[in-house]
Structure 1
Amino acid sequence: MKVNLKNDKMTNVRWVVGMLMWAAIAINYIDRTVLSAAAPHISKEFSLSSGEMGILMSGFFWSYALLQIPAGWVADRFGQKKTLGFAVGWWSLMTSITGLAVGFKSLLGFRIGLGAGEAGAYPSNAGITSKWFPDKERATVSGLFDSGSKFGGAVAMPLIAWLIYKFDWKLTFTFIGVLGIIWTIIWLLYFRETPEEHKGVNKLELEYINKGKKNEITDTEQPIKWYQLLKYRNIWAMCIGFFMINYNSYFFITWLPTYLVKERGMNLIQMGFVASLPLLCAMVVEVLSGYLSDKVYSKKLLSLTATRKLFLICGLIMASCIGMAAFTKSAVLAVVLLCIAKSGNTMAASQVWALPGEVAPKNMTSVVAGMQNTVSNMGGVVGPIITGFIVGSTGSFVPALLFSAFLIIIAIFNYIFLLGKVERIEPKEKMII
């Protein structure tokens, strides 16, 4: 143990860790968003159809979704420090060399490689949260690190538009990839697997973290195999609900730039600025939602289950505004509605990412987070493709936006009726070998 025994004032190393988690997710989304912002240039250079661009946008999710559970298992088994460090380093490399692509097939290969690396991010962060933060800060830090996705997406749009304008899309991928390599070096030098191992954590902070956990982990044994989790209702509710949320959410980092250019008549610079607005609004709302939900629960105004459901449902009601944006002729009103919709998505997400640490059996937080994210990101797989073919066949984004709103309504009913009491799963069955 390397705990700092100086105890006159509590240290806040956990929040430095939280900001590194936030930065990892921000870089994660900057890297995955480059293709969306560069899509008009790439499709023109390689003569790609809307359907082919939809496949490219979804190709990232093929490996990303399929590797969530393995990434979660690796993180729980070998530690989040190594897993997240390797993940960020790998996907940054894939981003850097994407400019070497010569056509559809090579672009698809680089996107699949990017997804393989980024699969380690969210499961690792969920596991870090369970180790480094007390229960009453769980939704706050979950909202914090997930808000990095909105910051990353928001910064990516104007930044990438400017880089493409000043240089070209190929060099832009290289510049963006360097960010993650720098982060990886800082992470490996600073982070430690547990608070006890970090020399900057003093006794007061360590006691604050450990006393704030109802479910303290004292070993590394996992009570069941990952697939045995499928016996539990809450796991299904978490996976189904997050699928619907992500289908809706990924419109904002895949097709929104094209929607603003083709449907709303904006130029590249206008698009870069306007596309960032829903994401910037969402970033603020997500952090506030996580903080407020933690306050509601810690002050015992509502039970944990009621708190999670309240913020989930309120967020999803806001998210359904994406359907209303389809009908307005005003570009300004459409953007306002999209800002509300994306903010609602993130309000729900602040609760979604708190759930694995509250529901998972001991030592399985990253695994549960990986399962949830596997299913949710199938929305990322099918969403861009479905949207692409709907737009291609109808010549309009209206039916695509209405379909997204319909899925959000299903998500509301899922969290109301299928999600049960939010509490740790205590398996009674023995592990199946």
Structure 2
Amino acid sequence: MPWIVLFALIAPINLLMSLDRQAMTLSAPVIQHEFGFSTIQMSAIIACVLWTYAFFQIPSGTIVNTLGPRRTLFGACFFWSFMTIITPGAGGFLSFLALRMAMGVGQAPDWSSSIVSIRNWFSPEKRGRANSVLLGFLYMGSVIGGPLTTHITKQWNWRSNFYIYGVIGLVLSILWLVFFRDTPPRGDGGGIDTARDDATAKVETAHLRRALRSWQFWSLGLHYMCLLTVQSFFLVNMPFYLMGARHVSYLSMGWLYGMPWLVLYLAVVAGGMISDTIQRKTRSVWLARTPMGVFGTGLCGLLVEIGCLAPSTNISIFLFCLALGLTGLSQISIWSSVQELTRRHTGLVAGWTTFLGNTASGLAPIAMTYIQGRTGSWPLAALVLTFAGIVGALCCLGTHSERPLHLEE
């Protein structure tokens, strides 16, 4: 039953969120030409969804802990899908920003709801694989969305993407409300005993204060902040890089855009199995989480830098695939640790981690666009990612999910 819930309800909504988000990224060259936006303006339109997404993470974690993932994610998915449908009605830079930021508010509770749902439905020894499926579907949205969105744009127009994805979202939100339950039936293989270990316990100010005094709480969030700094290049900057620096066509860009995300999908699936196997054989949570996170985060930014320096497009894409694949190993490390760091406040930890990560993801692409615009050099701009990867690997060493926080004391 838990796997049916994951594949039929939790994972499809996250795939849809990815499709909704990358629709703007892949439509950006066409929208930029139609409205005459500068590259920095277009980057801001793409990234601004992450500003509000990040800002509302901690409130969202609290809402999930109070209302539960069923009611929270229904309202969130319905709202952001409606915002997706009306996005084509934007008439200028400010209206695009407003609609995209509203969409970010709607998407903010998605990840905390999903993480809490997996914690409630899956036992600890299965969470690595469950997290890998969840992340895999999230990234599969970019794999599918690359060629799908560019072909829909060529066949009809860029507005059609938002109409199609938005309507699908409204349907999924209703299915979620009808069929999902916050916890599994007793004896159905769930991950918690809700009588004594509720992942959606009410969050009080004292709990947040205790968490903020913990280095583990900070190191986990800062690790994710650095990791998403690297991933933001692929989420926002890559289409501009491919069409500007490598001079590929719009349709070719869609296919090339999806390739690193396919490798990332495979990496998170493999990473989940590897993590669960290590934990089962060694009984060590640290060995199952930390080395994989350090390795993945430490190298991913450096590989993007080398890819920008590569002499050919093929070599560049190959290195980008490796880089994004390595971030998948770190994602498994981070989100398994989020679920293990506290017994009763997973929503709070997930909200905090996602807040810091998406703050970086919303600002780093604009900074890179600015550096590239002033210097004309993508390799120079990519040094931001190399630095972030090294710092993130060091932060990963400070996370010990085998020593959980006790926020109630």
Same structural fold, with TM-score higher than 0.5 when normalized by the shorter chain? yes
Given the superposition, is the C-alpha separation of residues 240 and 222 from structure 1 closer, same or farther in structure 2, using an over 3 Å criterion? Answer: same
Distance 1:218 1:102, change over 3 A: closer
User: How big is the shift at 1:172?
Assistant: 2.0
Aligned mates of 2:192, 2:156 — CA distance in 1 = 50
Compute the displacement of 1:15 (Å).
0.7
Structure 1 residue 217 displacement after superposition = 3.3
Partner SS for 2:309: coil
Determine if the alignment matches structure 1 residue 340 to structure 2 residue 322: yes
Q: Which residue of 2 is the match for residue 67 of structure 1?
A: 56
| Equivalent in the alignment of 1:18 | 6
Tell me which amino acid in the other structure corresponds to 1:351: S
- Identify, as 1 or 2, the structure richer in helix: 2
Structure 1, unaligned runs of 5 or more: 1-12, 198-202
Q: Tell me the number of residue pairs that the alignment of Structure 1 and Structure 2 aligns.
A: 405
Map Cα deviations across residues 279-330 of structure 1 (whole Å, 9 max, x no partner).
011101101101210111022x251012211110222244131121121111
Match 1:422 to one of 390, 402, 406: 402
- Structure-1 residue corresponding to 2:88: 99
8 Å CA contact 1:361, 1:427 repeated in 2: no
**Alpha-carbon distance between aligned partners in 2 of 1:36 and 1:27, rounded to the nearest angstrom:** 15
Structure 2 residue aligned with 1:44, among 33, 36, 51? 33
TM-score under structure 1 normalisation?
0.89
Q: How does 1:297-316 map to 2 (within 5 A)?
A: 297-299=279-281, 301=282, 303-316=284-297
Q: Which amino acid aligns with 2:338?
A: P
1:182-241 deviation digits (Å, cap 9, x = unpaired)? 2112211211111027xxxxx4x33x6458x9x833994557432431011110000110
* Cα distance in 2, alignment partners of residues 333 and 141 from structure 1: 33
Q: Is 2:341–2:401's contact at 8 Å kept on the other side of the alignment?
A: no
Give the whole-Å Cα distance in 1 for the aligned partners of 2:405 and 2:259.
39
State the secondary structure of the residue aligned to 2:185.
Answer: helix
Q: Kindly report which structure 2 residues correspond to 1:198-237, keeping only aligned pairs within 5 A, or say none.
A: 203=187, 205-206=188-189, 209-210=191-192, 216-217=197-198, 220-222=201-203, 224-237=206-219
Letter in 1 for 2:4: V
Q: 1:218 to 1:209 in 2, by over 3 A?
A: closer
Q: Unaligned 5+ residue runs, structure 2?
A: none
SS state at 1:216 partner: coil
Query: In the alignment, which residue of structure 1 is the partner of 2:241?
Result: 259
Q: Call closer, same or farther: CA 1:131–1:157 in 2, change over 3 Å.
A: same
Structure 1's consecutive aligned runs of 4 or more residues displaced over 4 angstroms after TM superposition are: 208-211
Q: Report if aligned partners of 1:58, 1:383 keep a CA contact under 8 Å in 2.
A: no
Out of 149, 156, 163, the residue aligned to residue 152 of structure 2 is 163
**Structure 2 Cα separation of the partners of residues 64 and 227 of structure 1:** 22
Q: CA deviation at 1:402?
A: 2.3
Rg larger in 1 or in 2?
1
Q: Partner of 1:79 in structure 2?
A: 68
Q: Residue 221 and residue 410 in structure 1: after superposition, are their counterparts in 2 closer, same or farther (change >3 A)?
A: closer
Q: Equivalents in 1 of 2:92, 2:171: separation in Å?
A: 29
Answer yes or no: is the 8 Å Cα contact 1:143–1:351 preserved in 2: no
Structure 1 CA distance for aligned equivalents of residues 113 and 191 of structure 2 = 19
Matched, 1:183 2:183: no
- The match for 1:326 is 308
Residue 6 of structure 2 aligns to which amino acid in structure 1? G
The one-letter amino acid paired with 1:74 is I
Identity in percent = 25
Kindly provide the amino acid, as one letter, of the partner of residue 118 in structure 1: Q
Contact 2:293 2:396 in 1 (8 A): yes
The answer to whether the 8 A contact 1:57-1:384 is kept is: no
Kept in 1, the 8 Å contact 2:120–2:199? The answer is no
> One-letter code of the match for 1:312?
G
- Aligned partner letter, 1:348: S
- Is the Cα–Cα contact under 8 Å of residues 119 and 199 in structure 2 kept in the other structure? no
Cα distance, 1:18 vs structure 2: 1.4
Taking only aligned residues, the RMSD between alpha carbons, in angstroms, comes to 1.9
Distance 1:93 1:185, change over 3 A: same
Amino acid at match of 1:426: H
